[in-house]
Amino acid sequence: MSRWGLFVEETVGSGDSKRWEFELLGHADGSREDALRALESTARAFRPRKPLNVRRTWTYRTADGLLQVNEGMTTTYLCRFTVAELVADSKDPSVAATPRDRVPEGY
């Protein structure tokens, strides 16, 4: 069974200070499809930092997860939700990457 990280990247700030910030929202165990279902539930419940007063939200499914567009009074902000499979954990050596027999030496 695989463990998946559920991530959000959202635009924060305003004007020339607008930037992307990245956050781990939680984990899901199971298949990639299980993780994507958990991600969708998480995205629907997610409250973005910007805008403060969301007037309308659109959520789109992408090949890699979800894209959420949040319309405020004067500006629109984006949230990108993705899943990533955990392949190593420095505090838990039982989590190991799949052997890469087909990767040439030196990579």
Smallest CA-to-CA distance from 40 within 11, 4, 76, 12 is with: 4
Going across the sheet that includes 2-12, the strands are 19-30, 2-12, 76-85, 65-71, 56-61
pLDDT higher than 70, residue 59: yes
What is the band of 97 on the pLDDT scale with cuts at 50, 70, 90? low
Percent of the chain's residues with pLDDT above 70: 89
pLDDT in tens, 3-47: 999 999 998 887 888 899 999 999 999 999 999 999 999 999 998
pLDDT at 86 over 70: yes
Global pTM reads: 0.80
Residue 104: pLDDT band (50, 70, 90) is: low
